[in-house]
Amino acid sequence: MKKYLGTLTLLCLFSFASIAQQKDSTKHHGFFKFIKNGSYYGSWGYNEESYTHSNLYVVQPSIGNNLEYQNITAHDRIGWDNLFNNQPTIPQYNYRLGYFFNEKQDWAIELNFDHTKYVATQGYYVRVTGQLGGKSINKNVMISDSTLRYQLNNGANFFLFNLVKRLRIVSTKNKIFMMDGLLKAGVGPVIPHVDNQIFGNNNKHQFQFGGGNTGIEAAVKVTIFKHFYAEYCNKLDYAWYYRLEVYDGRAHQSFGTYENILNIGYTTHLNLKSKMAPAPL
């Protein structure tokens, strides 16, 4: 609950900043006018997650399985606690690529990717119902390698196309130091890497397009020397997965995710000629 309160607090702060900015709104035109001389940016960082409980549905017609695992729990696998001994893409990483497109330079479009790892927790009982080997099942089952090893461990992999709103918090006159709030929202596909073993049967591990997701994000961005920045983000995402490969069948599920994200990035400002455009980000 404390984690979610952090996101709500950021959203409230940015709402107040937005009201303050409305005083100057009549001085600017071209609210959504797309210009060719905006600002490009890119960032790289790492993340940690917590997941909601969810139900996992498994259908394997040839072996007579039609199962529902109820209320399973899962955890992440951050990897960046041993960052210098791994390749940078082994831990849970993320990147953003975006473009501030309007004259006021406070709206952007963004490609937003989070490499997140989802690992179903073992060592506890869950209710399993349906058909197992053609026979009815409705009982508590201990989750272990023999009953359910289920991982999106090379990525639950959230990909979003975001719309971004920037809200200036504070800035020096020479723009050497700036602090902004960012609000983001988007939708996109998920590209999971599916690795599982269900009652002793292993699947073929592979990446696949496996559904969709939608997310909202609140961030604080600190920029120095107009180009270099660090960004701390709180993000809520909801993903739905379907037709995930299991042994001789398919699985589907959906769950919510809370993310903590820290990025570092760089902004390239094109030639902002508009008299209405403020100093670039």
Report, as an integer, the average pLDDT of 271-279: 47
61 pLDDT above the threshold of 60: yes
Contacts of 8 (CB under 8 A, 6+ apart): none
- In percent, how much of the chain has pLDDT > 70? 84
Work out the mean pLDDT of the chain and round it to a whole number: 87
Structural domain contains residue 277: no
Structural domain contains residue 168: yes
Here the tokens at position 75 are 């955890």
CB 172 within 8 A of CB 184: no
> Phi and psi dihedrals of 30, rounded to 5?
60, 45
Structural domain contains residue 164: yes
Q: How confident is the model at residue 13, as a pLDDT?
A: 42
Structural domain contains residue 278: no
Q: How confident is the model at residue 89, as a pLDDT?
A: 80
Least confident of 7-21, 77-91, 108-122, 261-275: 7-21
Structural domain contains residue 281: no
Give me the number of domains the chain comprises.
1
Here the tokens at position 278 are 């403020």
Structural domain contains residue 138: yes
Structural domain contains residue 83: yes
Max CA-CA distance within the chain?
74
Q: What residue numbers bound the domain in which 229 lies?
A: 2-269
What gap in Å lies between CA 270 and CA 267, rounded to an integer?
10
Here the tokens at position 57 are 């549905």
3-state DSSP assignment of residue 146: coil
Q: Which residues pair with 99 in a beta bridge?
A: 40, 109
256 pLDDT above the threshold of 80: yes
What gap in Å lies between CA 139 and CA 162, rounded to an integer?
43
pLDDT for 148-194, tens place per residue?
A: 999 999 999 999 999 999 999 999 988 899 999 999 999 999 999 99
C-alpha torsion 161→167→173→179, nearest 10: -70
Report, as an integer, the average pLDDT of 25-45: 76
pLDDT for 212-236, tens place per residue?
A: 999 999 999 999 999 999 999 999 9
- In percent, how much of the chain has pLDDT > 90? 74
Least confident of 134-138, 153-157, 172-176, 263-267: 172-176
Q: How confident is the model at residue 1, as a pLDDT?
A: 43
Give the pTM: 0.84
CATH number at residue 140: 2.40.160.20
Confidence tier at 30 by pLDDT (50, 70, 90): low
Structural domain contains residue 125: yes
- Exposed, middle or buried: residue 144 (CB in 10 Å: 0-12, 13-18, 19+)? exposed
Q: How confident is the model at residue 64, as a pLDDT?
A: 96
